[in-house]
Amino acid sequence: MRSQAVLCVVCLCLSLPGIVHADDASGAAARPNLLANGGFEEWGTLDANTAQREDVRNVDLVPPGTAPVGWIPSRELTRDQTRTATITLDEETKHSGARSVRIDNRDMKDIALVQYSTERYAADPDDPHNLRPNRRYKVRWWVKGENVEPSGTGPIMMMFYQSQKDGEWSRTNAYERDPRPNGTFDWEQRQFTFVTDEHAKWGAFTFQLRWTTGTLWYDDVELVDLGPAVHVETY
């Protein structure tokens, strides 16, 4: 990838201080994907409770009432109550497989597509796909953009939240953002690493167009466990 490419050609890797990192490359590709439906191949009708949430009703969905299985659309309400964002099943533009997800935003309100792991943890706390405390993870995905115009600090492309001891959510320092100029670009792979804290049991992964207009396609999203985080004593 060229260094001039918009929206972060060089993948941004974020980590917590005081952590020793093992070699990510060795065996990372062979590890299982901990996210459901990362290729956006499966689409289904939203359940009634989810479909009635205000933030979900604020999104135009194509086909109507559907979303990628395992993912939930979310949208800020505009002042005049109009819908200015669309999430679409796209069978024409994709990185691999038969489908991708397309997000169109026509104003500076936030539009997001979120995967929560709370229900999986509630159903089976020992499910190997659950997040585990004090572990190091990598999330990576492919993205394509058209007429992307960020404002302010630029779009947040992917953000991770994790559970805390009291059951509340906490945003970590794990996110990928690019404040540089906008534009149109072909498929590029992005990634970052993060470390879960000692109370993490579940999380939320959010693709987000924030303070940004334009169109983004996402495909082939993966979350892999890189192993234990090794803490180093400092003196």
Task: Tell whether 166 is covered by a domain.
Answer: yes
Task: Tell whether 22 is covered by a domain.
Answer: no
Q: The tokens of 145 are what?
A: 């953009």
Task: Tell whether 102 is covered by a domain.
Answer: yes
The stretches of the chain forming alpha helices (DSSP H) are 25-28, 48-51, 54-57, 118-123
Task: Tell whether 66 is covered by a domain.
Answer: yes
Task: Tell whether 11 is covered by a domain.
Answer: no
Task: Tell whether 77 is covered by a domain.
Answer: yes
| Number of domains within the chain | 1
- Side chain identity at residue 169, one-letter code: W
pLDDT digits (tens, 9 = 90+) for 10-58: 222 222 222 333 444 445 557 889 999 999 999 999 988 888 888 888 8
Q: Which residues pair with 137 in a beta bridge?
A: 194, 225
CATH label of the domain that carries residue 108: 2.60.120.260
220, 139 contact by CB (below 8 A): no
Query: What pTM did the predictor assign?
Result: 0.79
Tell me how crowded residue 210 is: count the other CB atoms within 10 A of its CB: 22
Q: Provide the residue count of the chain.
A: 235
Neighbouring C-alpha atoms within 13 Å toward the C-beta of 71: 30
Task: Tell whether 204 is covered by a domain.
Answer: yes
What CA–CA distance (Å, rounded) separates 111 from 58?
9
Q: What is the pLDDT of residue 164?
A: 67
Task: Tell whether 111 is covered by a domain.
Answer: yes
Q: Which domain holds residue 163?
A: 33-226
